[in-house]
Chains A and B, each alone.
Chain A
Amino acid sequence: MNNYFLIIIILCYLAVLFYIAFIAEKNAKSKWVNNPYIYTLSLAVYCSAWTYYGSIGTAASSGVGFLPIYLGPAIAVPLWIIVLRKIIRISKQHKVSSIADFISLRYANNRFLGALITVLCITATVPYISLQLKAVAESFAIMTNETHGITASIFDDSTFYIALILAIFATFFGTQATDASEKHKGIVTTVAFESLLKLTFFLIIGAYVTYYLFDGTQDIYDKVSITPDFNNLVKLSGLEGGIDWGFMILLSFTAIFLLPRQFQVSVLENTREKHLKKAIWLFPLYLLLFNVFVIFIAWAGKLTLEETANPEYYALLLPLNSNHTFLALLVFLGGLSAVISMVVVSTLALSKMISNNLIIPYGFLEKFIKAKPEENAIYIKNIRRISIFTVIILAYFFYNNFSIELSLYSIGLISFVIVAQLAPSFFIGLYWNRGSSLASILGIILGFLISAYTLILPFTIEAFTGSSEFTEFGLFGISALKPYALFGIDFLSPPAHAFFWSLTANILCYLIISLAFKGHYRERNYAEMFVDSKNYSSLQDSALVWKGEAYVADIKNVLTKFLGEARTQRALQIFFRKYDIPSDTQMADARLINFSEKLLTGSIGGASAKILIAGVVKEQEISLPEVLKILEESKETIISNKALQDKSSELTLLTAKLKDANEELIVKDKQKDEFLDTVAHELKTPITGIRAASELLMDDDDEMPVEMRQTFLKNIVDDSDRLSRLINNILDFEKLSTGREQLNLKKRNIQDTLKKAIGNTQHIAAKKEIEIVNKNRFHFELPYDEDRILQVLTNLLSNSIKFCEPKKGVITLDYKLGNDCIEVFVKDNGKGIPDEDINYIFDKFYQSKNQNTIKPQGSGLGLAISKQIIEKHHGRIWVEKGSKVGTTFGFKLPFN
């Protein structure tokens, strides 16, 4: 492929990335930018060119050895919910902007520790970045079919320009805000996009090699299994190989937390904690997909290509070998994506460390204090911009001068081992409050020196001099000091060996020194805050104990230098309102000190913030026990506050319940009132009739006709009957509804009861010449209170008789057996119940409105009483709706 053509494609691709970043920055609040998928994909910045090309190389030379690098993160991921969530919370609260910031914050913003971590990260990352540049250069050379060599001038080298464009990209989208803890949506979105591309292209080439060039996985396996060194490729070499594997997994386990670029995307760019939930299964899935075809591409390359071909680029060489240039171009772009995302995120993370943990606290503070606020913002941004360029150019020179001889895989692992030195200070510090800054510093230095001796030094000596004397005989010829087999441990691969010794020494050093020397009280304060972050996050600004004298005005001056007048004013206003402090307060308290430090941390890093604030306040030494006591007290306040809150919500609940009960009582009361009203009204009606008729008869002066007199007398008798019936019903109803009435349950034959009911009503039915039919002749026994059921049946029958037309009326009694109950029906062909009444007929004193023409002599309680009787039997009574002719009442009685 023509190299100008390729350069144009690269430039177009970069333009697309710029565009995506630009759009994402512009729509920073959109859900397209803030979702768990973007977050997960951005985590895949882990898969750099080392993964993309390097693991195929490893698979070709040492078989399954490439896998631990992915198993480590996959094992670590489930822990994220606990560990990473804690880290994210602390970082957000304290405006942490890098892993150096995070660790040094744990050790009370120790300036030297922050700087040390920064230097360590530079040492680990610059060669790693140069390795990425090397991958671009080599894959570029393969694509354009150039025999690669160092070009005479760097300005003829396309890699240099690509590095430069990446620097511009990282600068542009990485330094938009002075506050380094701000999110970088543009960069994260492009990284996610690139992660998607590199995976897709890698899967395409994998499928192409496996299914197009070969006949599936079985075919490749069959062919490769007859090659002579096949056994070495698929097996671990015994227990020792297993231990080696274990260490490698552990190594990458630490890397997924500690690599500056991983910390950047997983912690600092996390917008919502809940995104973690999706990431913990999606990210391992991503890694799995990335590794599906690695071994087959490696085998295919071994089978197809010449011995001299670099196995790391099999993915490019295979399609080129078959003249599928377009496919090769896709692979190239996938690799370029991996490079770009790694380089951009790494330099971004490093630049923040360099500015906030190295340059600013060690030299620029004086200058800042004198300068104007607007100038300071520009200074800070410029420091970061220059840092980005410096890192990339440094990486370029490293690549240009040293890395030609080094393989992708080995440099990657060296980088991992160096970064792993942060593990004790990081992980143990998160959960152990005794860990001290001195221990952390010494542990890291010791660990680094050992890894330098056991890995970096022999590796570079071998790479550049070609002599293996050092590794074979050890320092000064002492065999116990052989760099790859320290004290006789000779069965581990060099990275695992270095990892084992450096980390063992590091951890021991950390533990021993932490225990031997008591930390400073301030340190212990920070430690408590980290270890017990759940409790202290609610304490917020009071989580850090501080005692001394400080003036608000002085602190305000410092803040203004970095945040500007307006922002400072706003921030302080929020602070005063939050803690309910009068805004003209003169003396600052601990909360304001902590709040101000936090505000500055984002811009200039924790160490500098601490130094600046300390410059304007007079701090008093407090003893460690005093600090712990104050912390305990404020924690207790929080706890008792919480208990109070719980109590108060309990009370609220109780009040609501009381209110409900009260309302229910009121309703019941009202219902009772209404009931009594209706009872009184119903009782008064016959009494009125009796009284009026009696009065007329009494005052009669013999003018009244005899028939009239007879009618009045009959009315008096009827009304008296009505009155006594009413009184009986009311008493009955009361007895049933208050539950004083006990049922007399006995096994009875339903057929007998039906016959009795018919017998009771036969005479009134006969008067109207209404027929009562008993349809079902079967006998069936079940337990019930016969008197009460008879009452129900008599009531239903007399209702039916009342509403049936004389002579034409037919009433049918029927029953059928259900699963666990008997259903009895009383059906008539009377005038039916109007729809508007049907829902109320079982209410007490409800009498149908359209019975007014001939007022029936009911008490209005018959159906209400029937309902109570049936319900006392645990049955149900109902009237069938929607029947066109007549009325059908039914009730159910359970067998038990």
Chain B
Amino acid sequence: MKRILIVDDEPNIVMTLEYAFKKKDFEVYIARDGGEAMQILKNNIPDVVLLDIMMPNVDGYQTLDHIKKSEALKNTKVVFLTAKNKISDIEKGLKLGADKYLTKPFSIKKIVSEILELLN
């Protein structure tokens, strides 16, 4: 079973993603910001992290940095899912080491297929 960590501060959005990935037999972890995500990553090693950027307290960039520095998480993929859709934002996200950069608003089907493609 694939494991996914969804990090986003908007409960309504999280809810839809959670539903869709559970339907595809993912084990889903949820965090409302970077801080919570790091807590969860202490004890769990997901295959992929779906990461929002603009969040209170610890933002997406910091969370990515944390993941990249961790030896245990070296096989974990990171996908940004954010409303920031300027070319410069995308370039920055990929340069920092994200495996994919997806933008909001999104099509659930597309998100799921992109994640599956990444994991295979």
A-to-B contact residues, CB < 8 Å: 680-681, 684-689, 691-693, 695-696, 699, 703-704, 708, 711-712, 715, 718-719, 847, 849-853, 855
Question: Can you name 30 A-B pairs with beta carbons within 8 Å?
Answer: A681-B83, A684-B83, A684-B105, A685-B13, A686-B12, A687-B105, A688-B83, A688-B106, A689-B10, A692-B16, A692-B105, A692-B106, A692-B108, A693-B16, A696-B16, A696-B19, A696-B108, A703-B23, A708-B19, A711-B15, A712-B15, A718-B12, A719-B12, A849-B56, A851-B56, A852-B9, A852-B33, A852-B55, A852-B56, A853-B32
Q: Are B19 and A688 in contact (CB under 8 A)?
A: no
Q: Are A691 and B57 in contact (CB under 8 A)?
A: no
- Hey, which chain A residues are within 8 Å of B32, CB to CB? 852-853
Residue in chain B with minimal CB distance to A703: B23
- Hey, which chain A residues are within 8 Å of B107, CB to CB? 691, 695
Q: Are B83 and A685 in contact (CB under 8 A)?
A: yes
Per-residue CB contact flags for chain B residues 75-93 toward chain A (1 = under 8 Å, else 0) read: 0000000011000000000
- Hey, which chain B residues are within 8 Å of A855, CB to CB? 9-11
Cβ of B20 within 8 Å of any chain A Cβ, yes or no, is: yes
Shortest Cβ distance from residue A682 to the other chain B in the assembled complex, whole angstroms: 9
Q: Are A688 and B13 in contact (CB under 8 A)?
A: yes
Cβ of B41 within 8 Å of any chain A Cβ, yes or no, is: no
Residue in chain A with minimal CB distance to B107: A695
Q: Are B15 and A688 in contact (CB under 8 A)?
A: no
- Hey, which chain A residues are within 8 Å of B56, CB to CB? 847, 849-852
Residue in chain A with minimal CB distance to B20: A696
- Hey, which chain B residues are within 8 Å of A693, CB to CB? 12, 15-16
Cβ of B17 within 8 Å of any chain A Cβ, yes or no, is: yes
- Hey, which chain B residues are within 8 Å of A718, CB to CB? 12
Q: Are B84 and A688 in contact (CB under 8 A)?
A: no
Question: When chains A and B are docked, how far (Å) is the Cα of A37 from the Cα of B117?
Answer: 93
- Hey, which chain B residues are within 8 Å of A711, CB to CB? 15
- Hey, which chain A residues are within 8 Å of B84, CB to CB? 681
Q: Are A849 and B57 in contact (CB under 8 A)?
A: yes
Shortest Cβ distance from residue A613 to the other chain B in the assembled complex, whole angstroms: 75
Cβ of B109 within 8 Å of any chain A Cβ, yes or no, is: yes
- Hey, which chain A residues are within 8 Å of B106, CB to CB? 688, 691-692
Cβ of B104 within 8 Å of any chain A Cβ, yes or no, is: yes
Per-residue CB contact flags for chain B residues 35-69 toward chain A (1 = under 8 Å, else 0) read: 00000000000000000001111000000000000
Question: When chains A and B are docked, how far (Å) is the Cα of A695 from the Cα of B17?
Answer: 11
Q: How many residues of B contact A (CB 8 A)?
A: 25
Question: When chains A and B are docked, how far (Å) is the Cα of A708 from the Cα of B13?
Answer: 14
Q: Are B12 and A695 in contact (CB under 8 A)?
A: no
Q: Are A685 and B109 in contact (CB under 8 A)?
A: no
Shortest Cβ distance from residue B92 to the other chain A in the assembled complex, whole angstroms: 14
Question: When chains A and B are docked, how far (Å) is the Cα of A681 from the Cα of B104?
Answer: 9
Question: When chains A and B are docked, how far (Å) is the Cα of A849 from the Cα of B83?
Answer: 19
Q: Are B105 and A688 in contact (CB under 8 A)?
A: yes
Q: Are A699 and B109 in contact (CB under 8 A)?
A: yes
- Hey, which chain B residues are within 8 Å of A681, CB to CB? 54, 83-84
Which residue of B9, B12, B19, B33 contacts A689 across the interface (Cβ within 8 Å)? B12
B-to-A contact residues, CB < 8 Å: 9-13, 15-17, 19-20, 23, 32-33, 54-57, 83-84, 104-109
* Known A684-B83, A696-B20, A708-B19; 15 more pairs at CB < 8 Å: A680-B83, A681-B84, A685-B104, A688-B104, A688-B105, A691-B106, A695-B16, A695-B108, A696-B19, A699-B109, A712-B16, A719-B12, A851-B56, A852-B9, A852-B57
Question: When chains A and B are docked, how far (Å) is the Cα of A785 from the Cα of B76?
Answer: 58
Shortest Cβ distance from residue B19 to the other chain A in the assembled complex, whole angstroms: 6
- Hey, which chain B residues are within 8 Å of A704, CB to CB? 19
Q: Are A695 and B109 in contact (CB under 8 A)?
A: yes
- Hey, which chain A residues are within 8 Å of B57, CB to CB? 849, 852
- Hey, which chain A residues are within 8 Å of B105, CB to CB? 684, 687-688, 691-692
- Hey, which chain A residues are within 8 Å of B9, CB to CB? 852, 855
Residue in chain A with minimal CB distance to B17: A692
Question: When chains A and B are docked, how far (Å) is the Cα of A622 from the Cα of B108?
Answer: 101
Question: When chains A and B are docked, how far (Å) is the Cα of A684 from the Cα of B54?
Answer: 12
Known: A681-B54, A684-B104, A695-B107. Is A689-B16 also a contact (CB below 8 A)?
Answer: yes
Question: When chains A and B are docked, how far (Å) is the Cα of A687 from the Cα of B107?
Answer: 12
Residue in chain A with minimal CB distance to B57: A849
- Hey, which chain A residues are within 8 Å of B17, CB to CB? 692
Q: Are B12 and A715 in contact (CB under 8 A)?
A: yes
- Hey, which chain A residues are within 8 Å of B16, CB to CB? 689, 692-693, 695-696, 712
Question: When chains A and B are docked, how far (Å) is the Cα of A711 from the Cα of B54?
Answer: 25
Question: When chains A and B are docked, how far (Å) is the Cα of A688 from the Cα of B8?
Answer: 12
Residue in chain B with minimal CB distance to A696: B16
Question: When chains A and B are docked, how far (Å) is the Cα of A712 from the Cα of B18?
Answer: 12
- Hey, which chain B residues are within 8 Å of A686, CB to CB? 12
- Hey, which chain B residues are within 8 Å of A689, CB to CB? 10, 12-13, 16
Question: When chains A and B are docked, how far (Å) is the Cα of A719 from the Cα of B15?
Answer: 13
Question: When chains A and B are docked, how far (Å) is the Cα of A851 from the Cα of B9?
Answer: 11
- Hey, which chain B residues are within 8 Å of A708, CB to CB? 19
Shortest Cβ distance from residue A845 to the other chain B in the assembled complex, whole angstroms: 11
- Hey, which chain A residues are within 8 Å of B54, CB to CB? 681
Residue in chain B with minimal CB distance to A695: B108
- Hey, which chain B residues are within 8 Å of A699, CB to CB? 108-109
Question: When chains A and B are docked, how far (Å) is the Cα of A378 from the Cα of B10?
Answer: 99
Question: When chains A and B are docked, how far (Å) is the Cα of A849 from the Cα of B84?
Answer: 20
Question: When chains A and B are docked, how far (Å) is the Cα of A692 from the Cα of B107?
Answer: 7
Residue in chain A with minimal CB distance to B10: A685
Which residue of B15, B33, B83 contacts A715 across the interface (Cβ within 8 Å)? B15
- Hey, which chain A residues are within 8 Å of B108, CB to CB? 692, 695-696, 699
Shortest Cβ distance from residue B102 to the other chain A in the assembled complex, whole angstroms: 11
- Hey, which chain A residues are within 8 Å of B23, CB to CB? 703
Shortest Cβ distance from residue B112 to the other chain A in the assembled complex, whole angstroms: 11
Question: When chains A and B are docked, how far (Å) is the Cα of A699 from the Cα of B32?
Answer: 27
Shortest Cβ distance from residue A724 to the other chain B in the assembled complex, whole angstroms: 16
- Hey, which chain B residues are within 8 Å of A703, CB to CB? 23
**Which of A691, A692, A699, A715 has most B Cβ within 10 Å?**
A692
- Hey, which chain B residues are within 8 Å of A852, CB to CB? 9, 32-33, 55-57
Q: Are B83 and A692 in contact (CB under 8 A)?
A: no
**Which of A695, A699, A703 has most B Cβ within 10 Å?**
A695
**Which of A689, A703, A847, A849 has most B Cβ within 10 Å?**
A689
**Which of B56, B57, B84, B107 has most A Cβ within 10 Å?**
B56
Question: When chains A and B are docked, how far (Å) is the Cα of A851 from the Cα of B57?
Answer: 10
**Which of A686, A687, A718, A852 has most B Cβ within 10 Å?**
A852
